[in-house]
Amino acid sequence: MKASSSNHKLGGIFIAMMAFILALPMIGASGLAIDVPGLDQIQPEPTDGHLDTVTRALPATSAMNSASTVTPVSESAHVDSGPDSADSLQPLNQVSPEKFTAEMTWFETGLGSCGKWNNGNDHICAISQILYNRTNIDGNPNHNPVCGRRIHLQRGARSIEVSVADNCPECPEHNIDVTKSVFQALGNLDEGRIKIEWHWL
């Protein structure tokens, strides 16, 4: 009697399983939703003619990164500051002229290398032949553009301005030879040779 009862139970379970299997197509057709994990995260593979689908599926961060990329400006790049910059407003006359410390002597005047006659009362000078020849343009000393150029001479609190009219062959490069009147403006003739500072004007 017990064996017969067990067989009946197994038969009932088998019939129920077969009925469920046969009913599956009908359940799918009725729209029963089956939740499969990760199914909504699957993106369709690109096919010819549908590449825009892949583009739209790209993460938003890629577009953000490309849009926010900034190309750094080179530090050596020149930035035009315009006419109001500090460099353009600096007057040229604020640049200090180069000063030379040298010796000054006096000489008897006559016909100078620049082609003019001078006397002892003229405020003229002779620069060294080294400086004079440095600006010679055609071999003719009378045509030298340094002729007539102004020089400021100073000794302590005393100063005077002179014009170049001659050259001094025996003078060291920055020494100056002047007329008697110019020498007396800064010292005494009997000193013969004095220390001065001078610069071009």
pLDDT digits (tens, 9 = 90+) for 86-113: 333 333 344 457 999 999 999 999 999 9
* Nearest of 164, 168, 114 to residue 141 by alpha carbon: 114
Assigned domain for 102 exists = yes
Q: Is residue 195 part of a domain?
A: yes
**b/e code 93-119 from CB counts within 10 Å (16+ = b):** eeeeeeeeebebbbbebeebbbeeebe
Range of the domain at 114: 96-200
Angstrom CA distances, 11 to 14, 23, 129, 190, stand at 5, 19, 136, 150
Q: The domain spanning residue 138 has which CATH number?
A: 2.40.40.10
- Dump pLDDT digits (tens) for 54-86: 444 444 444 444 444 444 544 444 444 444 433
In a domain, 16, yes or no: no
Is residue 21 one of the residues assigned to a domain? no
Whole-angstrom Cα Rg for the chain: 53
Look at residue 152 and tell me if it is in a domain.
yes
51: in domain: no
Question: pLDDT tens across 137-186, in order?
Answer: 998 999 999 999 999 999 999 999 999 999 999 999 999 999 999 999 99
pTM of the model: 0.53
Domain count, the chain: 1
Domain presence at residue 9: no
Please check whether residue 86 lies inside any domain of the structure: no
